[in-house]
Structure 1
Amino acid sequence: MIALLLALGSSLAYGCADFLGGLGARKAHVLRTVMVAAPASLAVELLLWPALGASFTWASVGWGAASGAASAAAFALLYKTLAIGPMNVLSPVTALVSAALPVAVGLFQGEHLGAAGLAGLPLALAAVGLVSAGHGARPSRPSRTALLLGFGAGAAIALQLVFLHQTPSDSGVAPLIIGRAVSTAVTLAAAAVMYRRLGAERPAYGISATAGALDSVANLLFLLAARSGDLTVVAVITALYPAGTVLLARSVLAERIHRSQLVGLGTAAVAVSLLALT
């Protein structure tokens, strides 16, 4: 139950971070937004160091760096995917892959689910796809390139989660600090290379920094959930993060929640209830 609640908290924090990051990216190039969010995220993790501790062993540093590299790759692939579109097809594809791959890894590593879990897991995967379905009347068919990029983005997100799960349970926030430092360095290097194409617009500093802070909270909650529960359950619950984005868009921007998304929210509630019984 504790792992489930932590995973739900992680999902909510990821959803809020994505929503605020999207708002920030409306005002300036997305890399300018990340140039504010990434250092803010790293600062939060450094502030958590005295409270939660950090053990910089070879395992925690290695797996942490791998998660950071996967995070940077996920960022690049995801935004390239959504730029090609259509978003309302590719977003669910990315979310489902990011949930399904950790499930496969968890089962391969010997994790077992009870009857309730076996029923709740496919429902949760279905909810991920329904909740993350984008807007638009009739989705067009994505190109092969867009689909491959979508699968790549989902796989990179999944690898980030799997690598964090592999870190030693007594390493504290060391993997998060190392991972964020690596992803920040990669992002800033990309921004330096693309500097002439970033435009002159200033990012929304407060919104972008808050998004980065929430992303750190989400990573921490996922790490704690993965250390106290099964990856098969934790990864799927975490992948429900589009629900938080959808609800915030409805309440703040007055965006319409589509019927499929409402069905997805209800399905998610049933799935979480079943998984809580495992």
Structure 2
Amino acid sequence: MTGWLFALGSAVLYGVSDFVGGLASRRAHFVLVALLGQVAGVGVAAGVSLLVAAPSLDIGDLGWGALSGLGTAAGMVFLFRGLSHGSMSVVVPTSALTGMSLPVLAGVVLEDQQPTALAWLGIAVAMPALWLVSDSRSPAGTAGAAGMSAGLIAGLGIAVQYLSLAQASAGSGMWPVTAGRVSAVCVLVPTMLVATRRGRTPASRQQKMQPASRLQKIQLASRLRGTPPAFGMPPTSLSFAALSGATAAAALAAYLLATHHEITAIAVVLSSLYPVIPVLLGITVLHEKLTPRQTVGLLAAAPAAVLLAT
């Protein structure tokens, strides 16, 4: 009974993570946003792990957690890469559907998990709902193609993350999540170094992405607040990157708890409803307007969640 609540909680937290991470990636190098987020995630995951009992933790559980972190690293880098180029309407639904579909197929085919008829109906409703809620009208030309590629790779990473965490035993507590955050940092640090050596440092990329006058305004505003830009990004973006990683770690902890009470297919699909949250936050925080497609998607997402939780 509580499994679907944990899964929906994971979706809410992931939605918040994507929203603030997307804001941060508009003013900083996407690899740096992912790296700083995962560093913050290590602290959150470790704190939660110390509070949750782990009576039968073994090396295999940590191994599955570490593998999930490799998926996280790939997923976050390509997700933020797509968001930083402004192709959110393609990247978000593509990554969500890919990250949801592969674990469902793996659970049914490889693990012989059989969702109920109502759950299958919920899955069938959830897929188009996710696409519609992201208002997925593809940008023309290379932007649409780049967004689709980034979304597919991000979705593969998310699928590996979900499938790997689901293999950890219930007695492992939250330590697999911590192992995943550590392995993600271990991958993202050399990735950031490679980007720096190629001359694509956060600061230099920022200058290429934005007019000089805008960058100067950011730096001037930071000096007036008494806080200089850190790592080539304004303090607000730095905070957003850390918040993104912290909420993502909490989302994975909630997802892991969900897999202890629900089959993988149900836990994954409910957790994958997270694109609804950035849309709702865009309405309330950024005062954006819903398109007709997004309205239909939101209306479809609610019954999908009910069917999956039944």
In the other structure, the counterpart of 1:173 is 174
In the other structure, the counterpart of 2:276 is 243
Structure 1 130/148 Cα, relative in aligned 2: closer, same or farther at 3 Å? same
Structure 2 residue 15 is the aligned partner of structure 1 residue 29? no
Structure 1 84/252 Cα, relative in aligned 2: closer, same or farther at 3 Å? closer
- Please give the per-residue CA displacement for 1:157-201, whole angstroms capped at 9, x wherever unaligned: 111100000111211111111110010121122222223421033
**Greater shift after overlay, 93-102 or 82-91?**
82-91
**Greater shift after overlay, 173-182 or 193-202?**
193-202
Shift of 1:88: 2.3
Check whether the contact 2:90–2:148 (CA below 8 A) recurs between aligned residues.
Answer: no
In the other structure, the counterpart of 1:45 is 45
Structure 1 238/72 Cα, relative in aligned 2: closer, same or farther at 3 Å? same
Identity %: 33
Structure 1 89/144 Cα, relative in aligned 2: closer, same or farther at 3 Å? closer
Structure 1 73/251 Cα, relative in aligned 2: closer, same or farther at 3 Å? same
Shift of 1:123: 0.4
Structure 2 residue 233 is the aligned partner of structure 1 residue 201? yes
**Cα distance between partner residues in 2 of 1:82 and 1:26:** 7
* Alignment of structure 1 residues 1-278 onto 2, 5 Å: 1-54=1-54, 56-82=57-83, 86-108=87-109, 109-134=111-136, 139-140=139-140, 147-195=148-196, 196=199, 197-199=201-203, 200-204=232-236, 205-277=238-310
Which structure 2 residue ranges, 5 or more long, are not aligned? 204-231
Larger radius of gyration: 2
Structure 1 244/149 Cα, relative in aligned 2: closer, same or farther at 3 Å? closer
Structure 1 170/231 Cα, relative in aligned 2: closer, same or farther at 3 Å? same
Check whether the contact 2:92–2:275 (CA below 8 A) recurs between aligned residues.
Answer: no
**Cα distance between partner residues in 2 of 1:256 and 1:77:** 27
Structure 1 49/93 Cα, relative in aligned 2: closer, same or farther at 3 Å? closer
How many pairs are equivalent?
Answer: 275
Structure 1 23/159 Cα, relative in aligned 2: closer, same or farther at 3 Å? same
Counterpart of 1:224, as a letter, is L
- Please give the per-residue CA displacement for 1:221-245, whole angstroms capped at 9, x wherever unaligned: 0000011101111111111111111
In the other structure, the counterpart of 2:217 is none
Check whether the contact 1:41–1:214 (CA below 8 A) recurs between aligned residues.
Answer: yes
Check whether the contact 1:73–1:153 (CA below 8 A) recurs between aligned residues.
Answer: yes
**Cα distance between partner residues in 2 of 1:187 and 1:71:** 10
Shift of 1:203: 4.5
**Cα distance between partner residues in 2 of 1:241 and 1:110:** 26
- Please give the per-residue CA displacement for 1:92-151, whole angstroms capped at 9, x wherever unaligned: 2221111111110111212122222222110012211112235x6x74366767544432
Check whether the contact 1:13–1:214 (CA below 8 A) recurs between aligned residues.
Answer: yes
* Matched position secondary structure for 1:266: helix
**Cα distance between partner residues in 1 of 2:299 and 2:245:** 29
Counterpart of 2:8, as a letter, is L
Check whether the contact 2:125–2:304 (CA below 8 A) recurs between aligned residues.
Answer: yes
**Greater shift after overlay, 268-277 or 86-95?**
86-95
